[in-house]
Structure 1
Amino acid sequence: MKALVLAGGIGSRLFPITHTGAKQLIPVANKPVLFYVIETLVDAGVTDIGIVVGGTQAQVREAVGDGSAMGARVTYIYQEEPLGLAHAVLIARDFLGDEDFVMYLGDNFIVGGIDALLRKFHAEGPAAEILLTRVDNPTDFGVAELDAGGQVVRLEEKPKNPASHLAVIGVYLFTPAVHEAIDAIKPSPRGELEIVEAIQWLVNNGYPVGSATVDGYWKDTGTVTDMLEVNRSVLETLEPCTDGKVDEESEIIGRVRIERGAVVSQSRIVGPAVIGAGTVVRSSYIGPSTSIAEDCVIDTSQIEFSIVLNGAAIEGVGPIEGSLIGREAHLTRSCLTPRASHRFLIGDHCKVQVAP
Structure 2
Amino acid sequence: MKAVILAAGKGKRIDSVTNGENKCLLKIRDKTIIEYNVENISRIDEINEIIIVVGYRSHDIMSKIGNYYNGKRISYCIQKEQKGLINALEAAKYAVEDNDFILILGDEFIINNNYSSAIKRFYEKKYNCMIGIAEVDDINLVKKTYTIEIDENDNILDFIEKPIKPFNNIMGTGNIIFKKSFLKYIDQTPVNSIRGEKELVDFLKIILKEYGKVTTFKVGDSYINLNTKEDYYNLVRLFGIKVDIYRDSKYGVESI
Output the TM-score relative to the length of structure 1.
0.65
Alignment partners' CA distance in 2, 1:121 and 1:200: 19
Partner of 1:171: 175
Moved more, 212-221 or 55-64: 212-221
Sequence identity (%)? 25
Q: Is the 8 A contact 1:23 1:107 kept in 2?
A: yes
Structure 1 residue 81: deviation in Å?
A: 1.5
Q: Which runs of 5+ in 2 are unaligned?
A: 252-256
State whether structure 2 residue 151 is matched by structure 1 residue 154: no
Structure 1 residue 347: deviation in Å?
A: 5.2
Alignment partners' CA distance in 2, 1:217 and 1:37: 14
Structure 1 residue 187: deviation in Å?
A: 1.0
Residue type matched to 1:180 in 2? K
Q: Is the 8 A contact 2:8 2:88 kept in 1?
A: no
Q: Is the 8 A contact 1:2 1:102 kept in 2?
A: yes
Partner of 2:103: 103
* The one of 129, 137, 144 aligned to 1:140: 144
SS of the residue 2:239 aligns to:
helix
Partner of 2:49: 48
Once superposed, which parts of structure 1, at least 4 consecutive aligned residues long, lie more than 4 Å away? Answer: none
Partner of 1:344: 247
Taking structure 1 as reference, are residues 66 and 147 closer, same or farther at Cα in structure 2, changes over 3 Å only? same
State whether structure 2 residue 191 is matched by structure 1 residue 187: yes
Structure 1 residue 128: deviation in Å?
A: 1.1
Structure 1 residue 82: deviation in Å?
A: 1.8
Q: Is the 8 A contact 1:126 1:207 kept in 2?
A: no
Structure 1 residue 47: deviation in Å?
A: 4.2
Q: Is the 8 A contact 1:2 1:99 kept in 2?
A: yes
Moved more, 194-203 or 174-183: 174-183
Considering fraction of residues, name the structure with more helix: 2
Alignment partners' CA distance in 2, 1:148 and 1:177: 28
Q: Is the 8 A contact 1:5 1:104 kept in 2?
A: yes
Alignment partners' CA distance in 2, 1:215 and 1:89: 23
Alignment partners' CA distance in 2, 1:59 and 1:194: 27
State whether structure 2 residue 64 is matched by structure 1 residue 63: yes
Taking structure 1 as reference, are residues 86 and 158 closer, same or farther at Cα in structure 2, changes over 3 Å only? same
Partner of 1:226: 231
Question: How many aligned positions are there?
Answer: 245
Q: Which runs of 5+ in 1 are unaligned?
A: 236-288, 290-304, 307-320, 323-342, 349-356
Alignment partners' CA distance in 2, 1:214 and 1:2: 18
SS of the residue 2:187 aligns to:
helix
Q: Is the 8 A contact 2:111 2:220 kept in 1?
A: no
Alignment partners' CA distance in 2, 1:81 and 1:21: 17
* The one of 193, 218, 221 aligned to 1:216: 221
Alignment partners' CA distance in 2, 1:123 and 1:25: 35
Partner of 1:7: 7
Alignment partners' CA distance in 1, 2:39 and 2:129: 23
Alignment partners' CA distance in 2, 1:111 and 1:104: 14
Query: Counterparts of 1:1-356 in structure 2 under 5 Å?
Result: 1-45=1-45, 46-68=47-69, 70-113=70-113, 114-135=115-136, 136=138, 137=140, 138-189=142-193, 190-214=195-219, 216-235=221-240, 289=241, 305-306=242-243, 321-322=244-245, 343-346=246-249
Q: Is the 8 A contact 2:112 2:220 kept in 1?
A: no
Alignment partners' CA distance in 1, 2:171 and 2:179: 22
Residue type matched to 2:81 in 1? E
Taking structure 1 as reference, are residues 98 and 165 closer, same or farther at Cα in structure 2, changes over 3 Å only? same
* Deviation per residue, 1:264-314 (Å, 9 max, x gap): xxxxxxxxxxxxxxxxxxxxxxxxx2xxxxxxxxxxxxxxx24xxxxxxxx
Q: Is the 8 A contact 1:99 1:176 kept in 2?
A: yes
Partner of 2:254: none
Alignment partners' CA distance in 1, 2:220 and 2:87: 29
Alignment partners' CA distance in 2, 1:186 and 1:131: 23
Taking structure 1 as reference, are residues 215 and 53 closer, same or farther at Cα in structure 2, changes over 3 Å only? closer
More contact order relative to length (CA 8 Å, sep ≥ 6):
2
Q: Is the 8 A contact 2:148 2:157 kept in 1?
A: yes
Partner of 1:255: none
* Deviation per residue, 1:205-226 (Å, 9 max, x gap): 2342111134611111222222
Q: Is the 8 A contact 1:3 1:102 kept in 2?
A: yes
Q: Is the 8 A contact 2:16 2:229 kept in 1?
A: no
